[in-house]
Amino acid sequence: MDQVSNLLVQTNLNHCAAAQDLFLQTMAQWSIGVAVVAEPYSVPPRPNWMGDWDGSVAVVGSTTAHSPPLSLRDKGTGYVAVEWGGITIYGVYFSPNRSLNDFEVFLISLETSIRRLASGHVLVLGDFNAKSIAWGSPRTDARGEAVEEWAASVGLCLLNRGSTNTCVRQQGGSIVDLSFATPALAARVRNWRVLKEVETLSDHLYIRFELSRTQDSSRGHVARRLSRFPRWAVARLNRDLLEEAAIIHSWLSPQAPTEEVDVGAGRFRDAITHICDAAMPRIRGRRPPRKEVYWWSQELADLRAACTRARRSYTRSRRRHRGDGEEDRLHEEYRRARKTLKLAISRAKEEKRQEMLEGLNRDPWGRPYRAVRQKLHASAPPLTETLQPSFLREVVEGLFPQRAEHTPPSMASLAGDDGEHGEDNVPPVRDSEVGAAVLRIRSKNTAPGPDGVPARVLALALNHMADRLGEVFDASLASGRFPECWKSGKLVLLRKPGRPADSVAAYRPIVLLDEAGKLFERVLSARIVRHLCEVGPDLSDAQFGFRAGRSTVDAVLRLRAVTEEAVSCGGVLLAVSLDIANVVNSLPFSCIREALHYHGVPKYLRRLVADYLEERTVVYEDREGNLRCRPMSCGVPQGSVLGPLLWNIGYDWALRADFPPGLGVICYADDTLVTARGANFQEAARLATGGVSLVVGRIEALGLRVALDKTEALLFHGPRRGPPLGASIVVNSVLVPVRAQMKYLGLILDGRWLFDEHFRQLAPKLVGAASALGRLLPNMGGPSVATRRLYTGVVRSMALYGAPVWAAALTAQNRVRLWRPQRVMAVRAIRGYRTVSTEVACALAGTPPWDLEAEVLAEVYRRVADRAESGFRPPPEDVREWREAARRATMARWSFRLETPRAGFAAVEALQPVIAEWAGRQHGTLSFRLTQVLSGTVASESTCTRSLGGN
């Protein structure tokens, strides 16, 4: 097999924005795999940029699908280490203004990092600001001697060739950008050269070289054939053609009465595939990488070429030692050419930015939004196609373990054997059941399963093919067999941040299933839930996860209720959080079957679920293009609809123990919290120790394993009743310290329910999100008021998560923490100056303070919960009425608060009497200049005149 080369570049950008823009274009144009840049203008928060502590050097990875991802290994001041395709790459920069002693200390820290991390191939690239005849300088300075000794001690080979200056200024040039590699890697370096003929808009030139790959390591990076999983271009869907094809197949594909379930499901799958082929084109492989950034144009390419010609003329003049006048004239021409290119780049970026902002009104959740929210991921192959085959096999085996048949604990059936739910009592699938399932997928935009059929396309096709699918469902129910083609899922691996790339724990699996099979799962899930609620026995009241009408807020409020009950009586409550290892893929099938029997689930459903669990597989493509298959012998299927319900049923036994008085359990899916009540910490700790051991024993009896090293404990207490210093409990011989805070279901809890730490950590995230969205909301131009309010709602939803829990305990300090991000979004919504006060910005934007909005959410939640406790679910119109009543009360409180503003007195005085009408108006928008007038920040009389005149 031919070897495949990867291009690498290193340079210094001199903190120049235009130089960084041109560098990114160069990376795209040359298809650079990875680059090292010293003194970047900025290090953007993107996964393909890895910077050191102070942003003086960065390693930049390619965003194409043909390059391995970067993985951060280490960083310090002046260096950053990443792993890229099995190679550890160090980016280095050291300022020339620092002392020789500092430089020697820096080299020692760099050597320590290399010896600690790098056990194989190492590249060290960067600007050392050191000179030596070893790399072509006319003389050797003290720093050069130090670098030579350092390289020899670490065992690195110098890659620099020739005596071309890497840094060129009008005063002269120097060779300070150096490249080092371990001996084995240095033998694979080809064509190392300084590119004198390319304009960089920096004093430093580009250094480019190729790194050839061995035959074995290049297999995953050769041109790939088409994926084994079909994909269609949904954006080019022709609905008329889809409807025509669906009608034809509904006529031509009647199911035979005695047709096997697998045959019928296979025929339906083939029909949907043909319908997709008729309605939209297939995606034929991955798109080739772009050779230019989005703002690049032929005009800029011509200006860069002109700049290069001017630079070449100037450097030739210097070599020929012409008169000073000629050299100065050529340098001035070169300087003007560079300035023209910089201005043209800035202008091109601004034009593209304006086009992008204008498109936000059409698609507010498009690429710009995803980019600023860091949710826009570069096109890349699946991780299964980039990992080494041996390591990939280790990851898959660790995530989907094979285990022998597990004997479940005895769960005595409360419903007898089968009774009236015998084999013959199999209700056929009603049209309403299929319709309810289809309704759930009509607007979904999730990734498809192995068949590649998108959920929206299937929903459209079922307008004419629902009868065919219903026949498959009925045949499956009657035979007790789940179709084989719907048991196989496509495996997708996701990287967990902050974990070593060579660890199995660094990867999280997602299994994508066919949408048609998931529709059948929705029908089965609805029937099982209906049985649990109407016949029973139902799931434990302590389980809040994946249940209709229950949420994380309900679970936390249950914890708060038992806490307040204990504290109000002068006692304390100790909460211990348990973490279950590899939770989803470990629950034995036998436990699920036994639990279904305990809950009295009808026999036809038990038989079908048992078959549903058997012979399940996950399939994936490896880097060599082979289709791999891994059988599942335990665990609930991820990505499925039945999976969460089966987990709740199988895990329910662990929550139904006969707990002693004072001991309880609260659970959300697998997040299990054991609570122990006592008169003091010592009494609660003794009860918790035995209670946690009891719960852990029951969990382990289900074939699961509790990660005791991740167990956390928190003591809830009244004034001056906190835990003793260094308090801890012992759980199965593992010491668990009692901490001051504990993160539970997205909230950071403390022993007094004050939420200071929660808001202290939340505030920077809110400000970061508000600032990021603010980049899409300029004062002049940009999206409409509706889009600005929509983005304000994004940050508001982040801030008000869990409001029914903490609204009543909101302190003055935490209110201030909420106001800051709200002010940022309000200023952007009204197109105001950043000097506009919080009261004026929120009043003009019509957004009540978020602490008052939290009280609205808490009040509505309380009324809904009170009604639900009486067994009656309130209709939506009642909830809307309650919400409107609470909002009216909030507007009244806001108006009262605005009577005593802290700033912006004139504007607030004008808005306060009509604040409710202003906030609820459906007409008129605020322009930049009108906001200046209303907020009192008009700079001059002429500005005011233009504002009122509509200019």
Mean pLDDT for the stretch of residues 407-430: 66
Mean pLDDT for the stretch of residues 267-281: 92
Res. 194 pLDDT band, cuts 50 70 90? very high
Residue 830 and residue 777: Cα distance in Å, rounded? 10
DSSP labels, 899-935:
TS-SS-HHHHHHHGGGHHHHHH--S----HHHHHHHH
- Whether the pLDDT of residue 65 is over 70: the answer is no
* % of the chain with per-residue pLDDT over 70: 92
Mean pLDDT for the stretch of residues 499-516: 85
Q: Which of 15-19, 218-222, 369-373 has the highest mean pLDDT?
A: 15-19
Domain assignments of the chain as residue spans, ordered by start: 5-221, 224-285+383-401+419-540+589-633, 298-359, 543-581+655-753, 759-949
Reduced 3-state DSSP string for 443-499: CCCCCCCCCCCCHHHHHHHHHHHHHHHHHHHHHHHHHCCCCHHHCEEEEEEEECCCC
Average pLDDT, the chain: 87
Residue 937 and residue 932: Cα distance in Å, rounded? 5
- Whether the pLDDT of residue 308 is over 50: the answer is yes
- Whether the pLDDT of residue 226 is over 70: the answer is no
Tens-place pLDDT, residues 3-43: 344 889 999 999 999 999 999 999 999 989 899 999 999 99
Q: Which of 101-105, 439-443, 475-479 has the lowest mean pLDDT?
A: 439-443
Nearest to 813, CA basis, from 760, 855, 746: 760
Encoded tokens for 819:
């106001």
Mean pLDDT for the stretch of residues 783-809: 92
Tens-place pLDDT, residues 434-446: 888 888 888 777 8
- Whether the pLDDT of residue 656 is over 50: the answer is yes
pLDDT of residue 319: 66
What pTM does this model have? 0.84
pLDDT of residue 947: 45
User: Are 259 and 483 contacting, i.e. CB atoms less than 8 angstroms apart?
Assistant: no
Q: Which of 321-335, 386-400, 841-855 has the highest mean pLDDT?
A: 841-855
Encoded tokens for 38:
């010293």
Q: How big is the chain by its Cα radius of gyration, in Å?
A: 33
* % of the chain with per-residue pLDDT over 90: 47
Q: Which of 220-229, 676-685, 824-833 has the lowest mean pLDDT?
A: 220-229
pLDDT of residue 639: 78
pLDDT of residue 754: 93
pLDDT of residue 420: 42
pLDDT of residue 458: 92
Res. 285 pLDDT band, cuts 50 70 90? low
pLDDT of residue 941: 46
pLDDT of residue 114: 92
- Whether the pLDDT of residue 836 is over 70: the answer is yes
Reduced 3-state DSSP string for 52-71: CCCCCEEEEECCCCCCCCEE
- Whether the pLDDT of residue 674 is over 90: the answer is yes
Residue 71 and residue 464: Cα distance in Å, rounded? 49
pLDDT of residue 494: 87
> Which residue type occupies 630?
R
Pick the CATH number of 5-221 from 3.30.360.10, 1.20.140.10, 3.40.50.150, 3.60.10.10: 3.60.10.10
- Whether the pLDDT of residue 414 is over 60: the answer is no
- Whether the pLDDT of residue 1 is over 50: the answer is no
Residue 326 or residue 189, greater confidence: 189
